[in-house]
Structure 1
Amino acid sequence: MITESKSGIERRAAVHRALGEPTRLRIVDALHVSDRSPKDLADLVGVSTNLLAFHLNVLEDIGLVTRSPSQGDQRRRYVMLRADRLAGTLAPPPLDHPGDGVLFVCTGNSARSQLAAALWHARTGRPALSAGTRPAPRVHPLAVEVARSCGVDLEDAVPRGFDTLIESPDLVVSVCDRAHESALPFEVPSLHWSVPDPAAGGHDDFLQTLEDIDGRVDRLARALAPA
């Protein structure tokens, strides 16, 4: 016999009630593989910013989304999905497959984008590149350390700029607010992951970053999987 606590049942019921409204379901679908600014989200789901704010309040009250200020332009905010709270109730919406050339970008190309590219390759078997808007002198040692702990090798990774890319990517995923808010020189589909910079933290901060990116990579891979 399967049992569940009253609080667990009530929490799941609240999620189902919230997602029974079509606009809120579209919002959650739009956040599965990309964090988005409120303006971009309003345009994408076709509602006014005032109505979007109401729906986001409902979703935030039950813990399905969070809103946080950009680490770049502090006037901006990004809405992020708490995918763990869905507990398998929704599959990520399928995306048109843009091709195999995925490029992950951040500012220094010293941690987040390096981890994302390596995890993407490990998860899918497909190649991925990473680059930075202002490449750092080296990959952060703690990024190398946490990558090693999950079987990913960044020992020989070197930060690079966009000028080193030989071919244009098919999809760009920014994993840094500052990179997302800069003028990225690519006319291809793009997604954004608002991942905090762990550089000023310690091992646990880098491990949390790796776990965040790993979950996002998994959701993107499933969304891009062939039907």
Structure 2
Amino acid sequence: MAAALFNRQAGGRAWADSAGTRPAERVHPEVVEAMRELGVDLSTAKPQLMTAGLAEGAIRVITMGCADGECPVVKAPVEDWGLPDPAGQPLAMVRTIRDDIDHRVRSLLSSLAI
């Protein structure tokens, strides 16, 4: 959700990728639905594994509750947002998580002057 919201709000001025330490096989249906409500289509998105190579060149890495020792070492500053995993959550909770992420992404873009 964060990368999709970032990319939409950045309007091509910057780009974010999404990855996890234990990526699911697919984006959870509740996440797809919550994002569809905002006009963002994640129905064909594929979760990917977070690697140091993927983060190479990043100016910032945002984690969402990454446990110590699970995240690859990266050169960029790392900021943990400590958000709950939306997996298995009801749609109402996923909406709450989505809205929190949206607010944080807007603040991040502002702090980066993007």
> What is the TM-score of this pair, normalised by structure 2?
0.86
Q: Is 1:124 the counterpart of 2:10 in the alignment?
A: yes
* Aligned alpha-carbon RMSD (Å): 1.9
Partners of 1:127 and 1:195 in 2: CA distance: 21
2:63 paired residue number? 174
Conserved? CA contact 2:52–2:72, under 8 Å? no
**TM superposition shift of 1:198:** 2.4
Q: Is 1:153 the counterpart of 2:41 in the alignment?
A: yes
Which structure's CA Rg is the greater one? 1
The ranges of structure 1 where at least 4 consecutive aligned residues each deviate by more than 2 angstroms after the TM superposition are 162-167, 180-185
Paired letter, 1:192: D
Conserved? CA contact 1:120–1:128, under 8 Å? yes
Conserved? CA contact 1:174–1:193, under 8 Å? yes
Alignment coverage as a number of residue pairs = 110
Paired letter, 1:150: L
Give 3-state SS (helix, strand or coil) of 1:191's partner. Answer: strand
Conserved? CA contact 1:131–1:160, under 8 Å? yes
Paired letter, 1:127: W
**TM superposition shift of 1:165:** 4.8
1:136 paired residue number? 24
Q: Is 1:196 the counterpart of 2:84 in the alignment?
A: yes
Q: Which moves more between the two structures, 185-194 or 138-147?
A: 185-194
Give 3-state SS (helix, strand or coil) of 2:19's partner. Answer: strand
> What is the TM-score of this pair, normalised by structure 1?
0.45
2:99 paired residue number? 211
Greater share of residues in strand: 1
Partners of 1:215 and 1:189 in 2: CA distance: 20
Paired letter, 2:4: A
**TM superposition shift of 1:132:** 0.7
Conserved? CA contact 2:59–2:77, under 8 Å? yes
CA displacement, residues 1-41 of structure 1 (integer Å, 9 cap, x when unaligned): xxxxxxxxxxxxxxxxxxxxxxxxxxxxxxxxxxxxxxxxx
Q: In percent, how many aligned pairs have the same letter?
A: 37
Conserved? CA contact 2:52–2:73, under 8 Å? no
**TM superposition shift of 1:167:** 6.2
Q: Which has the higher contact order (CA 8 A, sep 6+)?
A: 2
5+ residue gaps, structure 2, are none
Distance 1:154 1:164, change over 3 A: farther
Conserved? CA contact 1:180–1:192, under 8 Å? no
Conserved? CA contact 1:118–1:152, under 8 Å? yes
